[in-house]
Amino acid sequence: VMDDRQNFATPQRFPEADRTICCAFSDIEEYISFGPVSSVVIVTRGPEYDQECLRRLIKYNLAYVGMIGSRRKIKLVRDLLLEDGIPAEKLEQVHMPVGLDIGAQTPGEVAVSIAAEILKERRGGSTHSLKDYNPQRSTGETSDLLTSSDREVLHKTLTMAETPAALATIVNTMGSTPRKAGSRMLVYEDGRMVGTIGGGSGEAEVAMAALGVIDTNVPCLKKVAVTAGTANLEGSSLGGIMEVFIEPAGAFNSALNGGGRI
């Protein structure tokens, strides 16, 4: 695991990593030797860092190289590298967006998608990758059906009504955001969370606001800006806004059961 932040690239944060390296992205080749057996996943916090890493890695014959991000972000990075003289055929070898097309939503699911794609390349599987163009997904729209994560949130909200908690629901999005309207996250009084609205510091902001809703029992509507500094594994780093309605979980439960109004 390599990052340029000292408080991030630590053995304590990644106890299962063989090595943790803290250095500038421009110095990565001084610390790691890349070759035909190397698999690399670029998941930095912004397009400029992605571009720096990919520019240095593209010249190697790697077993696998992938870069996380929305199609909009990836187009930006790709265009910048083409302007820098990187051959288009070299960029075509990069898996971007990274991962297999399994409908991943949560950070854990995205990690499974990426690991599965690395295995696919190693073993020669035939499952579709996200880099393969899919017109049904290119609009950025999401299905009206609940994901398994959202169903779990609703289930816990309905079955644990007596446990102090707040339900956060995305009601509107503008621009590029990790998740869309209808996505839900349940936040407990002790800080535990079920589900996700996209991860990153934007989700952390909502979680903090949810703790306030638990304390006051008063719902609120919070706007969260998703930028290069707040986006998580979904990679929507070019920016967008999420409007999130946060309400006491008990009030949601009561309304669904006809005992009150939200």
Is the CB of residue 249 less than 8 Å from the CB of residue 161?
Answer: yes
The Cα–Cα gap between 69 and 80 comes to 15
Q: Give whole-number Cα distances, 80 to 52, 85, 91, 235, in Å.
A: 11, 9, 11, 17
Phi and psi at 72, nearest 5°, equal: -70, -45
Question: What tens digit of pLDDT does each residue of 9-45 get?
Answer: 899 989 999 999 999 999 999 999 999 999 999 988 7
The Cα–Cα gap between 234 and 197 comes to 11
Interior angle at CA 198, CA 196 and CA 204, nearest 5: 80
Domain boundaries, the chain: 33-123, 148-256
Question: What is the pLDDT confidence band of residue 130, given thresholds at 50, 70 and 90?
Answer: confident
The Cα–Cα gap between 124 and 93 comes to 15
The Cα–Cα gap between 143 and 180 comes to 10
Range in 166-175, 186-195, 197-206, 215-224 with the lowest mean pLDDT: 197-206
Is the CB of residue 166 less than 8 Å from the CB of residue 211?
Answer: yes
33-123: CATH class = alpha beta
**Nearest alpha-carbon partner for 205 in 185, 224, 226:** 224
Q: Give whole-number Cα distances, 244 to 34, 112, 150, 203, in Å.
A: 43, 27, 15, 10
